[in-house]
Amino acid sequence: MTSLASKQRGVFSIELSIILIGFALLIVFTMDVVTKQSVKGKLDRLSYSLVSLLKERTQLFDGSATLSRNEVNAALSLAQYSLRSTMGSFDASRLGLMIEQQQFNSEQAPTPAINGLHVFRAGEYACEPSERLSTKTDLSPITNFGNRLALYQVTLCYKTNNLFGSLVGKQWELTSSTSLSIGR
């Protein structure tokens, strides 16, 4: 019996170390998922707020019907300020913003040239939505006066740290959010 016990020495330590390594990987994976979900939630709220501000800018700030570069830069500054206040490790070089505006003429067709689509990019990171606004023109309702309302789409992208992926060599992962709204 003592020979069996002497053969079993160290087995508990080996099993414990394997279980602890697995548990540590599970914790790192969970932290990574929670971090990404947190950033995704912040981007969702921020993209919705930005698209709401942009569609109401003519009512609130006496802006023109077409977006200007100054308004896009102001939206980027607002996004950076908001993310800087809510994220401890915010880096502006990882943020990208794309704003699309689709307008229509009196015949309910997209205007002007280039299908009436105005695209503005801002930020240091190139950001692309999963689906462009030009494919969603049928979402614009027709008013009682026979006009189509403008559409606005804001896409925010942020490259997040990839804790679990860095173990296998993938350092960054893109987190993005797209919000769409109908203008007035």
DSSP 45-79: HHHHHHHHHHHTHHHHH---SS--HHHHHHHHHHH
Asked whether residue 38 is assigned to any structural domain, the reply reads yes
Q: Which residues of 103-141 are buried (b: 16+ CB within 10 A; e: fewer)?
A: bbeeeeebbeeeebbbebbbbebebebeeebbeebeebe
Asked whether residue 5 is assigned to any structural domain, the reply reads no
What is the spatial distance between Cα 14 and Cα 16, in angstroms, rounded to a whole number? Answer: 5
User: Dihedrals φ, ψ of 49, to 5°?
Assistant: -65, -45
What is the spatial distance between Cα 71 and Cα 156, in angstroms, rounded to a whole number? Answer: 16
Asked whether residue 136 is assigned to any structural domain, the reply reads yes
What is the spatial distance between Cα 144 and Cα 153, in angstroms, rounded to a whole number? Answer: 24
End-to-end CA distance of the chain: 86
Asked whether residue 121 is assigned to any structural domain, the reply reads yes
Prediction pTM value: 0.76
Asked whether residue 4 is assigned to any structural domain, the reply reads no
**By the 8 A CB rule, do 95 and 109 touch?**
no
The DSSP output letter for 144 is T
By C-alpha distance, which of 118, 123, 40, 41 is closest to 79?
123
Which structure tokens are listed for 118? Answer: 């105005």
Asked whether residue 6 is assigned to any structural domain, the reply reads no
Which residue ranges of the chain lie beneath pLDDT 50?
113-115
Residues facing residue 172 across a β-bridge? 161
Q: Give the helix/strand (H/E) hosting 179.
A: strand 172-182
For residue 31, how far is the Cα from the chain centroid? 19
Note the pLDDT of residue 141: 77
Give the range of the structural domain holding residue 84, as residue numbers without chain letter. Answer: 11-182
Asked whether residue 157 is assigned to any structural domain, the reply reads yes
Tally of structural domains, the chain: 1
Asked whether residue 2 is assigned to any structural domain, the reply reads no
